[in-house]
Amino acid sequence: MCTNFTPTQRAQWVKDALGVDLPSDFPDETFPGYLAPLVVKSRQSERVACGLARFGLIPAWAKDDKISRHTYNARSETAAEKPSYRSAWRQRQFGLVLVDNFYEPSYASGKAVRWKIERASGEPFGMACLWDRWTDPASGERVVSFSMLTVNADGHPVMKQFHKPGDEKRTPVIIAPALHDAWLSADTAQAAELMTWAHMPDLSAMPAPR
């Protein structure tokens, strides 16, 4: 599972790639519960926008935000059925979280060592997400939150090396730049077709211990 990443600060890349302005005031590194820049597209106006959203999806029906501790990654194979994600999936609330890299543990040495994964080109990228809106019943605050969508990575040339031996290998779905709009505009059938690493850009990885 991907539990932390580096949100991009490269505003010009965001403008050139997606035609939106990058918001400010988000952390240098994001963990569950932290904010990150998320791009979404209105189904009514088709306007693309980028704002800050919390990592860890809080479904609209939740009584509090504790569920977000367990909803930062969504398995693409079951997102349409799982109670936490199915409303966002059916309502086609597909987004892109914009990052420079993300981190996974490698156990090649016999213990967990943090590695950094990024595009081989060094450019930022958008990872496929589901997002939802939730209103805190105590304060009335409106919260936008998201979960990364993941797929099996047992055969991926880079991502197959991470996580504990014997565990299924998973990777966040990175949407190739040419498919950004296709993802943001997708219906559920089209979204399901994009849930694969076959179209993802090339990745590179290197140790990044703390």
pLDDT digits (tens, 9 = 90+) for 30-71: 999 999 999 999 988 899 999 999 999 999 999 999 999 999
In this predicted structure, what is the pLDDT of residue 18? 96
Token duo for residue 197: 């690493």
Look at residue 1 and tell me whether its pLDDT is greater than 80. Answer: no
The alpha carbon torsion through 115, 152, 199, 28 (nearest 10 deg) reads -30
Least confident range from 24-28, 107-111, 142-146: namely 107-111
Q: What is the pLDDT of residues 136-174, one digit of tens each?
A: 998 999 999 999 999 999 999 999 999 888 889 999 999
Token duo for residue 92: 């086609």
Q: What is the pLDDT of residues 77-102, one digit of tens each?
A: 999 999 999 999 999 999 999 999 99
In this predicted structure, what is the pLDDT of residue 204? 97
Phi, psi of 63 (to 5 degrees): -80, -25
Close Cβ partners of 191 (under 8 Å, ≥ 6 residues apart) = 89, 92, 94, 183
5-207: CATH superfamily: SOS response associated peptidase-like (3.90.1680.10)
